[in-house]
Amino acid sequence: MKTLPPRSIIGLIGGGQLGRMLALAAAPLGYRVHIYTPESASCAGDVAWKVTQAAYDDHAALAAFAAQVDVVSFEFENVDVRPLAALGDVPVFPPPKALAIGQDRSSEKAFAEQYGARTAPWAEVPDRAALTTALERIGTPSILKTNRFGYDGKGQVPINAPEEADAAWAALKGQPAILEAKIAFAAEFSLIGVRGQDGALAFYDPPQNVHESGVLATSTLPAPPMITAQAAQARALASRMAEALDYVGVFALEFFATGDAPLFNEMAPRVHNSGHWTIEGAETSQFENHIRAICGLPLGSTALAARHVEMTNLLGAAANGCHALLSERGAHLHLYGKDDAREGRKMGHVTRVIR
């Protein structure tokens, strides 16, 4: 394990709000952050030490970027893994293998099942003919999801009857997909963990998550008893998966609380929207713990630091006039510096804390 000294340079691939919050967490620990993003202006770049603007598959630019940093990490997993070979010998955390699994729905479900996860019934759908076969096996109601590059409800189409198959396939423009049974569940929750270079592993308390139109709306702690009762099973699965990947950094697993055991839904090999509450609501934020992990520092405490915490995403126009929240006791406002408040876009979040 190599501990990076202060003034070392962390290379972050991706220029979104997660990169912004990682850069803000790195600064108090004495690190500088170099952002790599294809965007000409990015909210992470606004607070970074340096920015490289280049395509994610630009091998020469990636090699030049790697030569200027001491470690590389990601704030965005939808990056083709193959060009990352251009990073050479610079340490990359989490390992690209985790990135490859986390950006492919069929791979992540199969990987999780290999380590004991229960999932909703699902089937690979590489073409239109396979969709018919999958519907015969999975049935309806179900959800057709693009196999790659889907997030925040994008790339997902419900199928409530077999005759809707053609329209659903057309809506995804013939992209390879999976079909997943739509299940009844009591609640949704996420488990955020962090693993250090030395193998140390820690978990945050799981929040109850509420989604609206496929986008996370709120994360609340403490979670209801049904979720807390299933947390141990979720942690055991996450531990097995992290160990198998030799993972370093923060990761998130999303679950449905059903019956007496959780159903695995998705894996995110990065810091996660449902962990934003940790900035004010935990002893060490997910962002600081990610920086600690990839830089070879001891992990910080993940203990809950409040009696009640609720994080609310500010989407699109809902962020307008949000400075009024500053007059609310216990409210902590985070704006991401984005210009275009289009519908559904994450413009910021507010975390309400009761000590």
The two beta strands, 346-354 and 308-315, are: antiparallel
Instruction: List pLDDT tens digits, range 98-148.
Output: 999 998 999 999 999 999 999 999 999 999 999 999 999 999 999 999 988
CATH code of the region 9-92:
3.40.50.20
Least Cα distance to 21 among 68, 75, 72, 71 occurs for 75
Please state the φ and ψ torsions of residue 330, each to the nearest 5 degrees: 80, 0
Provide the pairing of β-strand 156-159 with 187-195.
Answer: unpaired
Residue 155 has pLDDT above 90, yes or no: no
Contact indicator for 218, 311 with CB cutoff of 8 Å: yes
Return the CATH class of domain 187-354. Answer: alpha beta
Split at pLDDT 50, 70, 90, the class of 196 is very high
User: pLDDT tens across 51-82, in order?
Assistant: 999 999 999 999 999 999 999 999 988 888 99
pLDDT at 152 over 80: no
pLDDT digits (tens, 9 = 90+) for 337-348: 998 888 889 999
pLDDT of residue 194: 98
Mean pLDDT value of segment 203-226: 95
Q: Supply the pLDDT for residue 150.
A: 62
For residue range 217-235, what is the model confidence (pLDDT) as tens digits? 999 999 999 999 999 999 9
Q: What is the pLDDT of residue 214?
A: 84
Q: Which two tokens stand for residue 107?
A: 């791979």
- The domain locations on the chain are 9-92, 121-181, 187-354
CATH number of 121-181: 3.30.1490.20
Its pTM stands at: 0.95
Per-residue model confidence (pLDDT) at position 148: 83
- The model's confidence at residue 153, banded by pLDDT at 50, 70 and 90, is low
Whether 328 has a pLDDT exceeding 90, the answer reads: yes
Q: What is the pLDDT of residues 282-324, one digit of tens each?
A: 999 999 999 999 999 999 999 999 999 999 999 999 889 899 9
Q: Could you read off the pLDDT of 237-273 as tens digits, one per residue?
A: 999 999 999 999 999 999 999 988 999 999 999 999 9
Confidence of residue 2 (pLDDT cuts 50, 70, 90): confident
Helix ranges restricted to H, the chain: 17-26, 59-66, 96-102, 105-114, 128-138, 165-171, 225-245, 278-281, 286-294
* Model pLDDT, residue 236: 98
